[in-house]
């Protein structure tokens, strides 16, 4: 983490606790971040990890040393803390979380005064302060203070309620199962859903930073208990959050787990029905489903690079109201332009209530695609050259090079090939109207990539 003059990855600073991310480093990140903010009021909060209180204290010490006042929110989800920045008009926030990573990891996200994580340019400013030891310590008489920030969860729940039809949802008496991954997802959503008139059953809802219930990444293979519970008790909906509750994956009343693309497309459809001509922001890795819905209901798709911060920043720049990711991130700007698991849950219930349709039916009405994934080994040093060669070879086709190479074919099938940011591999995502075609695309382009990589090796 420290060797390359780079601290921040795709979503903040991440590392294994007491190996890559120690309390000493956390203090230094606190002082660098405080120097970056040049004093002011900064909210600090954390997820349920065992190391979170320790790292929060270290970051707070660093922030105070540079004259920043800390508003300490304690344990809360990432979106609740981001909302608090907006609600209390603070200069920013530091959130201690490693989102969906295993329990031995932790991380530090830095949020700007608009509630969105810092842009890459701002991160570089903090990295330069950190690596060049340009910390500005405050005089003894100007050290920052710490005071508690109460009601962060209550304010957040109240804000979400303003964006849905509470009476309509309450009339339906929905039964919802919440799988909170033993983390901060259990703090706001169950209470929000009860206030929307739902009956709530929770699983993995006791706070436990060892994550005994399931890994905090809401992949289908981790959500079997949720799916079984929904079916067994005849619930109307199941929802699972990741470790910091900004992403949500839904299970329909039949116990089927749905990918994030589908639920995003559903939210998009009903959003565009009420707000035609709006821009929809989504990474190039998202399903063509998102474009089909935009085409059918008068929306305009804006494709971005992969990464939630890019989606948020693009939404802000274009004044777009809705964004989404295939991993279960839904960004609903009337509330806040960051991904938000509890807001997404309220939106899905709102659609179910207004249409009087079950989730399986609503999702069944969307166009269908088959998705296949693959990977090809590629040494890190050959990734860029491989991308150049690949782009050259497919330049006659309908392609996008926003992030990796994506090729769209006339039959609506497509394939995206991206170098992984963390592993020596290329990832392939193919999508088609039939399973055979998706498989064939992965095979064909895996072979093409292998040939290019082999030629570069020799």
| Closer residue to Mg ion in complex, CB, 37/83 | 83
> In whole angstroms, how close is the CB of 18 to Mg ion at the nearest point?
22
| Closer residue to Mg ion in complex, CB, 216/374 | 216
Bridge partner list, 283? 304
CA distances in angstroms from 190 to 178, 186, 230, listed in the order given: 7, 6, 15
| Closer residue to Mg ion in complex, CB, 181/405 | 181
Our CA angle for 109, 113, 117, nearest 5°, is 30
237-241 vs 199-203, strand pairing mode = unpaired
Spatial distance between the Cα atoms of 60 and 454, rounded to a whole number of angstroms:
50
51 lies in the site for Mg ion, by CB under 5 A: no
Q: Quick one: which segment of 121-129, 204-212, 239-247, 284-292 binds Mg ion (CB under 5 A)?
A: 239-247
Tokens 């039916």 correspond to: 361
| Closer residue to Mg ion in complex, CB, 298/421 | 421
Closest CA to 205 of 217, 214, 195: 214
Bridge partner list, 374? 428
Q: Quick one: which segment of 53-61, 94-102, 144-152, 225-233 binds Mg ion (CB under 5 A)?
A: 94-102
> In whole angstroms, how close is the CB of 325 to Mg ion at the nearest point?
11
Q: What is the 3-state secondary structure (H, E, C) of 165-199?
A: CHHHHHHHCCEEEEECCCCCHHHHHHHHHHHCCCE
> In whole angstroms, how close is the CB of 184 to Mg ion at the nearest point?
10
| Closer residue to Mg ion in complex, CB, 214/383 | 214
Number of residues that bind Mg ion (CB under 5 A): 4
Spatial distance between the Cα atoms of 34 and 40, rounded to a whole number of angstroms:
9
Q: Quick one: which segment of 16-24, 234-242, 257-265, 416-424 binds Mg ion (CB under 5 A)?
A: 234-242
What is 204-266 written as a DSSP string? S-S--TT--SS-SS--GGG-HHHHHHHHHTT-SEEEEE-TTSSBEEEE-TTS-B--HHHHHHH
Report the b/e string of 35-44 with b at 16+ CB within 10 A: bbbebbbbbb
| Closer residue to Mg ion in complex, CB, 123/246 | 246
Which residues 312-331 are close enough to bind Mg ion by CB under 5 A?
none
Q: Quick one: which segment of 171-179, 218-226, 236-244, 269-277 binds Mg ion (CB under 5 A)?
A: 236-244
Select from 236, 242, 268, 350 the one that contacts Mg ion (CB under 5 A). Answer: 242
68-75 vs 40-46, strand pairing mode = parallel
| 302 three-state secondary structure | strand
Residue 99 annotated in active site: yes
Select from 33, 99, 106, 308 the one that contacts Mg ion (CB under 5 A). Answer: 99
> In whole angstroms, how close is the CB of 383 to Mg ion at the nearest point?
26
Q: One of 52, 77, 99, 312 is an active-site residue; which one?
A: 99
> In whole angstroms, how close is the CB of 269 to Mg ion at the nearest point?
25
| Closer residue to Mg ion in complex, CB, 242/278 | 242
Residues contacting 101, CB < 8 A, separation 6+: 14, 107, 216, 217, 243
Q: Quick one: which segment of 146-154, 228-236, 238-246, 274-282 binds Mg ion (CB under 5 A)?
A: 238-246
Q: Quick one: which segment of 114-122, 235-243, 295-303, 444-452 binds Mg ion (CB under 5 A)?
A: 235-243
Contact in structure between 135 and 32 (CB atoms under 8 Å): yes
> In whole angstroms, how close is the CB of 100 to Mg ion at the nearest point?
6
Select from 127, 244, 403, 431 the one that contacts Mg ion (CB under 5 A). Answer: 244
Q: Quick one: which segment of 56-64, 240-248, 314-322, 443-451 binds Mg ion (CB under 5 A)?
A: 240-248
> In whole angstroms, how close is the CB of 260 to Mg ion at the nearest point?
12
DSSP annotation of 420: -
Tokens 């782009």 correspond to: 391
| Closer residue to Mg ion in complex, CB, 246/268 | 246
| Closer residue to Mg ion in complex, CB, 66/282 | 282
> In whole angstroms, how close is the CB of 328 to Mg ion at the nearest point?
9
The token pair that represents 115 in the structure block: 């509630």
Contact in structure between 230 and 360 (CB atoms under 8 Å): no
> In whole angstroms, how close is the CB of 131 to Mg ion at the nearest point?
27
The token pair that represents 430 in the structure block: 């193919």
330-332 vs 322-324, strand pairing mode = antiparallel
Select from 217, 246, 253, 292 the one that contacts Mg ion (CB under 5 A). Answer: 246
CB atoms within 10 A of CB 48: 27
CA distances in angstroms from 154 to 70, 289, 369, listed in the order given: 20, 35, 40
Helix extents (H) in 21-165: 23-37, 52-65, 78-88, 120-131, 152-161
Contact set with Mg ion (CB under 5 A): 99, 242, 244, 246
Which residues carry out catalysis?
Answer: 99
């Amino acid at each position: 983490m420290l060797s390359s003059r780079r601290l921040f990855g795709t979503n903040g600073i991440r590392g294994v606790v007491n190996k890559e991310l120690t309390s000493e480093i956390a203090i230094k990140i606190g002082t660098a971040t405080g120097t970056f903010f040049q004093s002011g009021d900064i909210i600090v909060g954390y997820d349920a990890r065992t190391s979170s209180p320790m790292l929060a204290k270290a970051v707070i010490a660093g922030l105070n040393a540079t004259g920043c006042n800390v508003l300490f929110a304690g344990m809360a989800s990432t979106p609740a803390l981001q909302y608090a920045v907006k609600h209390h008009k603070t200069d920013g926030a530091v959130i201690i979380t490693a989102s969906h990573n295993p329990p031995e990891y932790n991380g530090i996200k830095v949020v700007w005064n608009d509630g969105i994580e810092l842009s890459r340019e701002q991160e570089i400013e903090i990295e330069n302060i950190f690596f060049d030891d340009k910390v500005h310590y405050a005089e003894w008489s100007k050290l920052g203070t710490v005071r508690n920030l109460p009601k962060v969860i209550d304010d957040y729940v109240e804000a979400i309620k303003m964006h849905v039809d509470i009476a309509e949802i309450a009339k339906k008496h929905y039964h919802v199962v919440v799988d909170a991954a033993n983390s901060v997802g259990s703090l706001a959503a169950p209470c929000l859903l009860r206030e929307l008139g739902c009956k709530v059953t929770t699983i993995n809802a006791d706070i436990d930073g060892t994550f005994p219930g399931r890994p905090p990444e809401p992949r289908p293979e981790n959500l079997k208990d949720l799916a079984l519970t929904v079916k067994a008790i005849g619930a109307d909906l199941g929802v699972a959050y990741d470790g910091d509750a900004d992403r949500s994956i839904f299970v329909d009343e039949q116990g089927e787990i749905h990918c994030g693309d589908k639920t995003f497309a559903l939210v998009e459809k009903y959003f565009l029905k009420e707000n035609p001509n709006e821009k929809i922001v989504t990474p190039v890795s998202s399903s063509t489903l998102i474009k089909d819905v935009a085409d059918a209901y008068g929306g305009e798709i804006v494709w971005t690079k992969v990464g939630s911060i890019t989606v948020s920043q693009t939404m802000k720049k274009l004044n777009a109201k809705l964004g989404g990711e295939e991993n279960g991130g839904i960004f609903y700007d009337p509330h806040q332009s960051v991904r938000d698991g509890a807001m997404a849950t309220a939106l899905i219930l709102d659609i179910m209530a207004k249409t009087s349709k079950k989730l399986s039916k609503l999702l069944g009405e969307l166009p269908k695609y088959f998705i296949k994934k693959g990977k090809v080994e590629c040494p890190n040093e050959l990734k860029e050259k491989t991308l150049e060669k690949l782009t050259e070879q497919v330049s006659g086709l309908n392609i996008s090079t926003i992030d990796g190479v994506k090729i769209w074919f006339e039959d609506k099938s497509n394939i995206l090939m991206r170098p992984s940011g963390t592993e020596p591999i290329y990832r392939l995502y193919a999508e088609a109207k039939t399973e055979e075609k998706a498989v064939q695309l992965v095979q064909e382009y895996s072979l093409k990539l292998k040939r290019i990589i082999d030629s570069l090796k020799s």
